[in-house]
Structure 1
């Protein structure tokens, strides 16, 4: 055990004023090994139970317990080091679980604190992944269903020697098929790939290429084609002279003066006719939409 004052025997005048009498200094707490922490933790819990809650000694004793048992957090966090998350973040959320365990631990039950605390620490880390790892936010109900579907899928795939259908998954999990389908769709929101990521190769596109190159996009000529189809019945309803004016103006791209000469009208008359015809067509298009 490191050379530190005993939790129960340290003289009050040997400790800083901010450290309650009988407790180790902060530097001593951080130097305690995991084995020493297992021996000192029960002693500190006894002291914690005897102190008035909210007092300075109670708060300091609680802090000592947290500092001494941080090795439990690091131990639990290492189990998730394969995940795409920073170790410091996992230690922070795991420490929250450690504090919860300290506040809820009852030494009288005869359970070792480490065995009691680890599920709290691991639970907080798992909750951290559940709440932050999804690329698209989905309800917690579906996040939890994803785990059940994954386990059921592995079990049924082993038994059936093929991928199970949604109906078989629903029967296995005793759920409605619609709920299983919803969960399967939600699984797609767990991770997301960059549009610049290379796509999987297939026979049609052996060179692969970026995902973005295979995504559909809106054809700029689509709206024009739709407008043409919508205009056809409106154009058929126009008088012959009105259709000819439109053809000369937009088909032959003639000026109003040239149209007036071709039809024996004045330029002012052509301008008024074009304004009336276009307003009529515009109103008809709006009614169609």
Structure 2
């Protein structure tokens, strides 16, 4: 729980000896919420009053079971229930601090959206493996709920166009929402590919993904070749461009430049030997 929300009225060890307060329920018509009655007494006291800390403790203890139920509602989404419970308790402390009895609103009507919003904000800010726009997160939730509803209605999984019509989204937006779902929880590269294997040695994802890129070795060669090409006469550069980049035959190059094919062959051979020498490579025998 955040210290900024609880330092004003910390929970004391003496509260553990106090009898457990029953979980709050929504009061019926004409009934007074016992927790709200304690809260109104707390709000009527000055901060320096020695009774204020004890009343604050009692209000927190009264509504703590409700905060645990809110946390369990969001369980199973990849976050520990204990963390969600603590987050809901932060929302409770904020609601206690911000509640104004003079406005006439019941405290439960103010507490529930405050605590629930705090838990949702926790998921938005901390649970995602990558930061994504809030609109994309909301579309992901809408997509998941709509997909479940349409699967029950149709007896099969809906396609992208059907989901888009129901949600008022384009197929591209539906695809984006599906891709966002993959960003919620990252997969560790050290995770075994078969964690259920019984004593068998299994490889990690890191060992099975990717491969050596042989084109990286050519980057150094290309960079070293640039100054060597720049030193060639323009005619030799043109011949190399036509032969190796435009895939012309020696006969086509000879006809285009007005030379014999034999002369083009000699120029190519001498130019390549010069490039090998500039790069420190062995010349062809």
Verify same fold: TM over 0.5: yes
Matches within 5 A, 1:1-289: 27-28=14-15, 31-35=18-22, 40-52=34-46, 54-56=47-49, 59-60=52-53, 61-102=55-96, 103-104=98-99, 106=101, 109=104, 111=106, 113=107, 117-199=111-193, 210-221=204-215, 223-224=217-218, 227=222, 233=240, 241-246=270-275, 250-252=281-283
Instruction: Report the Cα distance in structure 2 between the residues aligned to 1:37 and 1:180, rounded to whole angstroms.
Output: 41
Q: How far off is 1:34 after superposition?
A: 1.9
Q: TM-score, normalized by length of structure 2?
A: 0.59
Instruction: Report the Cα distance in structure 1 between the residues aligned to 2:222 and 2:242, rounded to whole angstroms.
Output: 12
Mean Cα deviation higher: 220-229 or 130-139: 220-229
Instruction: Report the Cα distance in structure 1 between the residues aligned to 2:23 and 2:187, rounded to whole angstroms.
Output: 47
Q: How far off is 1:68 after superposition?
A: 3.8
Q: How many aligned positions are there?
A: 222
**Aligned pair in 2 of structure 1 residues 30, 178: CA closer, same or farther (>3 Å)?**
farther
Instruction: Report the Cα distance in structure 2 between the residues aligned to 1:170 and 1:36, rounded to whole angstroms.
Output: 43
Poorly superposed stretches of 4+, deviation over 4 Å: 36-40, 107-111, 113-116, 225-232, 234-242, 245-249
**Aligned pair in 2 of structure 1 residues 221, 43: CA closer, same or farther (>3 Å)?**
closer
Indicate conservation of the 8 Å contact 1:30/1:68, yes or no: no
Where do 5+ consecutive residues of structure 1 fail to align? Answer: 1-24, 201-207, 255-289
Per the alignment, residue 16 of structure 1 pairs with: none
Mean Cα deviation higher: 41-50 or 149-158: 41-50
Across the aligned residues of Structure 1 and Structure 2, the Cα RMSD in angstroms comes to 4.3
Q: TM-score, normalized by length of structure 1?
A: 0.58
Mean Cα deviation higher: 142-151 or 131-140: 131-140
**Aligned pair in 2 of structure 1 residues 173, 47: CA closer, same or farther (>3 Å)?**
same
Per the alignment, residue 21 of structure 1 pairs with: none
**Aligned pair in 2 of structure 1 residues 132, 42: CA closer, same or farther (>3 Å)?**
closer
Higher RCO structure (Cα 8 Å, ≥6 apart):
2
- CA displacement 1:228-283 (0-9 Å, x = unmatched): 999892697967545445557623489xxxxxxxxxxxxxxxxxxxxxxxxxxxxx
**Aligned pair in 2 of structure 1 residues 149, 198: CA closer, same or farther (>3 Å)?**
same
SS in 2 for 1:69: helix
Indicate conservation of the 8 Å contact 1:199/1:211, yes or no: yes
Indicate conservation of the 8 Å contact 1:42/1:107, yes or no: no
Indicate conservation of the 8 Å contact 2:147/2:157, yes or no: yes
- CA displacement 1:85-117 (0-9 Å, x = unmatched): 344422321112112332326488584x55753
Q: How far off is 1:173 after superposition?
A: 0.9
Indicate conservation of the 8 Å contact 2:22/2:62, yes or no: no
